[in-house]
Amino acid sequence: MALSYARSLCRIHANPEKPAASVLRSSSSGNAAKDVLALYSSILANAGLRTSSSGEEPLQATYVIGIGLGMRESSGKYCEGYDTAAGTNRTSAEGEAGLFQASYNSISASPELRKLYDEYKANESRCMLATFKEGVSCTSRSILGTGAGADYQTFVKRCPAFAAEYTMTLIRLLRSHFGPLNTKSAQVIGSCDSMLSQVKTLIDSNPEAACSELF
């Protein structure tokens, strides 16, 4: 997640603008029904995280929440399959997959999500799979259904860097897609914020070199 955050930092400062950048750098919309930063406003304020101005601060707050979300949804496993408790009498577009358990039917929340999906599919060397594999064991889990939704499930599990940036974008637009956000059970942890601040310091020390490696 530290590397994904670093890439998102580079993304919001890139010229020309890259997919999802406008969403990731935006300040809190104030719409708690859609935007996780608005929903978590009091929790973030108590943690000293600011979201009222666009730029790096709302991005970092989003990732702090996102780390907590990933632990709630999959215990940090990039390879997690669909929720078997929800049954199989569903379309492939409803099948959850990956670290954050997002499903393909969420992609309609914004054209930026489709652009991000296409960006990663065009260059899978950027998926950071080896990094996300460290310390994680996976069991075989079948894909739900067929077609575009099934393709998405497969891709999300083999491209965790995409899953991270996709979900960080999605929770700014459609936070209700995730149960742990609706109940605020995804935790905001101070040590995660500190880690991301250290990442930002490293990027800021030589942004051109760092971002060329990440993109």
Give residue 145's identity as a one-letter amino acid code.
Answer: G
Residues 175-185: pLDDT tens digits? 999 999 999 99
Four-CA torsion 8, 165, 138, 153, nearest 10 degrees: -150
* Number of separate domains in the chain: 1
Residue type for 82, please? Y
Domain span including residue 43: 2-214
Q: What is the pLDDT of residues 138-182, one digit of tens each?
A: 887 789 999 999 999 999 999 999 999 999 999 999 999 999 999
Q: What is the pLDDT of residues 83-142, one digit of tens each?
A: 999 999 999 999 999 999 999 999 999 999 999 999 999 999 999 999 999 999 988 778
- Separation of alpha carbons 39 and 41, rounded Å: 6
pLDDT confidence of residue 141: 75
